Structure 1
Amino acid sequence: MKTNPGRFFEDYRMGEVIAHAVPRTISGGERAIYHALYPARGALHSSDAFAQACGLKASPMDDLITFHTVFGKTVPDISLNAVANLGYAEGRWLEPVWPGDTLTATSEVIGLKENSSGTTGVVWVRTTGRNQHGVPVLTYVRWVMVKKRGTAPTGAATAPVLSPVVAPLDLVVPPGLDFTRHDFTLSGEPHRWGDHAPGEVIDHVDGVTIEEAEHMLATRLWQNTAKVHFDTTQRPDGKRLIYGGHVISLARALSFNGLANAHLIVALNGGAHVNPCFAGDTVRAWSEVLERAETSSPGVGALRLRLVATRGAPGVLRDASGKYEASVLLDLDYWALIPL
C-alpha cells in the first residue's frame, strides 16, 4: 500500500520520536496571505523600519505563522484521524523566524490514554520546530483525541504532568529587542505595560464572520491535511470543522484593538478549543490580563493574557456550574512582550 491512511491510536508508542515531512521555506508570501486572511496589523510584524527601530534586523514573521507552519507539518502523523484537537501547554517561541528560513518539525510521544468509550484515545506529543540550521524556534505540547483502528483494549493509561504556566524567567526575548525608543504613534495605541492591571478585561469590539473559502485557504496554506477540515463525510452533521488555529489567529488579530503593543507571543501556557466552530459563525474576542512580569531586556515587559474567542458577549466564559458557555470557542493563555 503506497498511500497513507494516517495513524490510529494503536499506532503510537510512548517515547517514540516522529520526524515529520515536508520542510517548508517561509517567504514574504506567507506574511501577505496571513495578513489578508486575518485583520493582523501589528507594527512589529508589518514594518522592517519599525522592527529595526526596536533593535531587530528586520520584521520577523508573525509568531502564529511559525506556529501554524510547524503544526501543519505534524498533522499527517499526529492528527490526520483526529476527532478533536484538545489543548496546548508549555509552548515557547525560542528564536525569531525570518523570511527565507526553512522549518522542519519533530514530535515525541509523551502520553497515551485510551478513552472509556473504547473507540478513541488521547495522544500527547511534544513538538519542536527547527530552522535550517537545526536551531529550535518553537516547542509546545498538544494533545489530540484520535480514532482507534479496532475495539480491542490497549491498556494505555499514561497522561503527562504539565506545567500550568511558563515561568517568566523561561521566556525567551529575541536578541537585541529594545523598546526604549518605541514609537506609540506608529504602533497605533499609547498603552504600555504599566497601563494593564491584572484582572482587567478588554473587549476587542470587532467581529468577523468566517467564510468557508477563507478557512479552507488557511488550512491548505499551512499544509494541514486533517480530514475533518476538508471532508464533509467525516462528521455526522456534514459540516467541515474550522481549523482551531484559524480561530486562534483570528482572535489574536482582533485583539489589536486594545492590545496593539503586545507585539510578540513568547509562550503558550495553555489553551483549549472549547466548542466547534463552523463557517457562518461570527467570531469576537476579549482578553483578560492575568499577570505582569519584567524582563532583562531594555524597555521590554511581559503580559500574561487570557484570549477568548466567542460567538457571544465579551467577558462571558463559564456558566454557574463552571462549564464553558456554549458560545465560547477558544480559551488561550499566553505571554506577550510589550513596552514598559
Structure 2
Amino acid sequence: MKTNPGRFFEDYTLGEVIQHAVPRTLAEGERALYHALYPARHALYSSDDFAGACGLEGSPLDDLIAFHTVFGKTVPDISLNAVANLGYGDGRWLAPVYPGDTLRSESQVIGLKQNSNGKSGVVYVRTRGINQRGEAVLEYVRWVMVRKNRDTAAPETVIPDLPKIVTPDRLVVPEGLDFSDYDFTLAGEPHRWGDYAIGEQIDHIDGVTVEEAEHMLATRLWQNTAKVHFDATNREDGRRLIYGGHVISLARALSFNGLANAQMIVALNAGAHANPCFAGDTVRAWSEVLDKAETSAPGVGAIRLRLVAVKHGAAPFALRGEDGKYDPSVLLDLDYWALIPT
C-alpha cells in the first residue's frame, strides 16, 4: 500500500519521536497572504524600519505564521484522523523567524489515554519547530482525540504533568530587542505595560465573518491536511470544520484594537477550542489581563493575556455558564504571554 491513511490511536507508542515530512521555506509571500487573510496590523511584523528601531535585524514573520507552519507539518502524522484538537500548553517561542528561514517539525509522544468508549483516545505530543541551522524556534504541547481503527487493548494510561503556565523566568526575549525608543505613534496606540491592570477586560469591538474560501485558502497555505477541514462528507452534518488556528489568528488580529503594543507572542500557557466554528460565523474577541512581569531587556515588559473568541451575538465577556462549561458562543480560550513596551 503506497498511500497513507494516517495514524490511528493504536498506532502511537509512548516516547516515540516522529520526524515530520516536508520542510517549508518561508518568504515574504507568507507575510502578504497572512495580512490578506487576517486584519493583522502589529507594527513589528509590518515594517523593517520599525523592527530595526526595536533592535531586530528586520521585521520577523508573525509568530503565528511560525506556529501554523510547524503545526501543519504535524497533521499527517498526528491529527489526520482526529476527532478534535483538544488543547495546548507549555508553549514557547524561542527565536524569531525571518523570510528565508526553513522550518521543519518533530514531535514526541508524551501521553496516551484511551477513551471509555473504546473507539478513540487522546494522544499528547510535544512538538518542536526547527530552522535550517538546527535551532529550535518554537515548542508546544498539544493533545488530540484520535479515532481507533482496530479493536486493540488499551495502552497504559499516561497523562503528562504539564505546568499550568510558562513562568516569566522561562520567557525568551529575542536577542537585541529594545523598546527604549519605541514609537507609539507608528505603533497605533499609546498604551504601555503600566497602563494595563490585572483583571482588566478589553472588548476588541470589531468582527470578521468567516467565509469558506478564506478558511480553505488558509488551511492549504499552512499545508494542514486534516480531513475535517476539507472533506464535507467527513462529518455527519456535511459541514467543513474551520481550522482552530484560523480562529486564533483572527482573534489575535482583532485584539490589535486595545492591545496594539502587545507585539510579540512569547509563550502559550493554555488553549482550548471550546466550540466549533463554521463558515458564516462572525468572530469577535475580548481579552483579560491575567498577569504582568518585568524582563531584563531594555524597555520590554511581559503581559499575560486571556484571549477569547466568540460568535456574534454572544453576551459581553461571555466565557462559562453556571455549570462551569464553556458558553456555546465561545470558540477559543487562549492564555498567552506577549512582550510590550514599559
* TM-score of the pair, normalised by structure 1: 0.99
Q: Distance in 1 between matches of 2:189 and 2:153?
A: 56
Residue 152 of structure 1 deviates from its aligned partner by 3.2
Contact residue 285 and residue 314 of structure 1 kept, 8 A: no
Question: Does 2:80 match 1:80?
Answer: yes
Contact residue 208 and residue 284 of structure 2 kept, 8 A: yes
Partner of 1:331: 333
Partner of 1:215: 215
Question: Does 2:2 match 1:15?
Answer: no
Partner of 2:258: 258
Q: Distance in 2 between matches of 1:313 and 1:322?
A: 16
Partner of 2:270: 270
What's the secondary structure of 1:91's corresponding residue? strand
Q: Distance in 1 between matches of 2:212 and 2:153?
A: 38
Partner of 1:125: 125
Q: Distance in 2 between matches of 1:81 and 1:54?
A: 43
What's the secondary structure of 1:99's corresponding residue? coil
Matched ranges for 1:1-340 at <5 A: 1-311=1-311, 312-340=314-342
Q: Distance in 1 between matches of 2:121 and 2:39?
A: 36
Residue 321 of structure 1 deviates from its aligned partner by 1.5
Please, what is the CA RMSD of the aligned residues?
Answer: 0.6
Residue 158 of structure 1 deviates from its aligned partner by 1.1
Q: Distance in 2 between matches of 1:273 and 1:150?
A: 28
Q: Distance in 2 between matches of 1:304 and 1:13?
A: 35
Corresponding letter in the other structure for 2:27:
S
* CA deviation map 1:195-220 (0-9, x unaligned): 00100000000000000000000000
Q: How many residues align?
A: 340
What's the secondary structure of 1:169's corresponding residue? helix
Contact residue 112 and residue 155 of structure 2 kept, 8 A: no
* TM-score of the pair, normalised by structure 2: 0.99
Q: Distance in 2 between matches of 1:106 and 1:162?
A: 19
Q: Distance in 2 between matches of 1:253 and 1:171?
A: 22
Contact residue 212 and residue 279 of structure 1 kept, 8 A: yes
Q: Distance in 2 between matches of 1:24 and 1:269?
A: 26
Q: Distance in 2 between matches of 1:66 and 1:119?
A: 33
* CA deviation map 1:43-78 (0-9, x unaligned): 000000000010101000100000000000000000
Q: Distance in 1 between matches of 2:273 and 2:82?
A: 14
Q: Distance in 2 between matches of 1:268 and 1:297?
A: 20
* CA deviation map 1:105-129 (0-9, x unaligned): 1000000000011100000000000
Q: Distance in 2 between matches of 1:122 and 1:306?
A: 25
Q: Distance in 1 between matches of 2:296 and 2:316?
A: 34
Contact residue 229 and residue 243 of structure 1 kept, 8 A: yes
Residue 156 of structure 1 deviates from its aligned partner by 3.5
Q: Distance in 2 between matches of 1:209 and 1:127?
A: 31
Residue 153 of structure 1 deviates from its aligned partner by 3.0
Q: Distance in 1 between matches of 2:264 and 2:191?
A: 15
Q: Distance in 1 between matches of 2:335 and 2:119?
A: 31
Corresponding letter in the other structure for 1:326:
P
Q: Distance in 2 between matches of 1:80 and 1:156?
A: 23
Gaps of at least 5 residues in structure 1 are none
Runs of 4+ in structure 1 deviating by more than 2 angstroms, as ranges, are: none
Contact residue 10 and residue 152 of structure 2 kept, 8 A: no
